[in-house]
Amino acid sequence: MESESIVYGCIRDWPSDSPAECRLRREINRQVLDALPAGDAWPFLGREMFAFCRQPGDGLYQTQVIHFGASYQAVEYEWSLWIEQFEALLKRLYWASAVVHLETELNGTHTFRWESDNGLHSPEEGELRVRCAWEREGGGRG
């Protein structure tokens, strides 16, 4: 049996004093996520793996948190493609920071973090300007 990889994390928006601005950013983020492929049509990122609280008071205070997770068959061998698709998604969203955890049976756990240069990213910015750092915890047994 092939080894299993677990990928999970969250994408955080930034709080704002303007409720209308927050609603607009949440709505645009929702539209982007709803446009992701569904079912068997997605190779790495799909609509079903993302979730978020939609209404203030229902787990949404000031900051929208988009959480995600999926299990894959040895995704670490195609990790650069996964990252490429994830960063393409980040380019289309409003966010301040993102974290991805990759748990592998053979290579341990890796944590990847994205922070925008100025504390927030807007889709209008075009290029993704981030500081990405990765951390590794523990090694596999073999």
What are the pLDDT digits (tens) for 93-103? 999 999 999 99
pLDDT at 69: 97
> What tens digit of pLDDT does each residue of 40-81 get?
767 799 999 999 876 666 666 778 899 999 999 989 889 999
Give the integer Cα–Cα distance in Å for 37 and 76. Answer: 21
Nearest of 80, 91, 78, 118 to residue 32 by alpha carbon: 91
Run of H or E including 23:
helix 19-34
The residues spanned by each domain of the chain are: 4-137
pLDDT class for 142, splitting at 50, 70, 90? very low
Q: What's CA 114's distance to the chain center, in Å?
A: 9
pLDDT at 124: 80
pTM: 0.86
